[in-house]
Amino acid sequence: MSKACHRAPPAANRADDHQPTRRAGRQRRASKPLAGPDTPEDAPFTATSLDGLGKPLQAIPYCDVISGWIREPLVTDAAAYLQRECRGKLDAKERKPRFRRSGRPALEYRQRLTLRQPTRAALEYLGQHDFMLNYSEFALDRFYGTANELRDALQFIIAHALVTNRGDQMVSVCFGRKGFTVYSGQRGAPNLSVTYADKASKVAKSAIPPLHDERRTNGARAHRRKQLGVMPDQSDFWEENQCFCYIADTEGLGRAYNNAMDGDISLPRKSRRKPKLMRIGSTIINRDLRMGHQLIRTLGLFRPEQLSMSKEAEAAGCKMEELPGYWSIMSVISIQNLYDRLNPIIRIDRFIGNIDVNANFNLAC
Q: In the chain, which residues have pLDDT < 50? A: 1-50, 265-268, 359-365
Q: pLDDT at position 208, please?
A: 92
- Cβ–Cβ < 8 Å for 289, 38: yes
- Looking at the 3D structure of the chain, how many domains does it have? 1
Cβ atoms 291, 254 nearer than 8 A: yes
134 domain residue, yes or no: yes
Q: What is the pLDDT of residues 207-253, one digit of tens each?
A: 999 999 999 999 888 888 888 888 888 888 888 888 899 999 999 99
CB 290 within 8 A of CB 40: no
10 in a structural domain: no
Question: In this structure, is residue 89 part of a structural domain?
Answer: yes
Rounded CA separation 131/231 (Å)? 12
Determine the pLDDT at residue 136.
94
pLDDT of 326: 94
Percent of the chain's residues with pLDDT above 70: 79
Tell me if 99 is assigned to some domain.
Answer: yes
User: What was the pLDDT predicted at 338?
Assistant: 95
Distances in Å between the alpha carbon of 326 and those of 137, 209, 301?
Answer: 27, 19, 13
* pTM of structure: 0.77
Task: Give the range of the structural domain holding residue 220, as residue numbers without chain letter.
Answer: 58-147+170-240
Name the DSSP letter for residue 86: B
Q: What is residue 194's predicted lDDT score, i.e. its pLDDT?
A: 95
> What confidence score (pLDDT) does residue 76 get?
87
* pLDDT score, position 228: 87
Flag whether 287 is in a domain: no
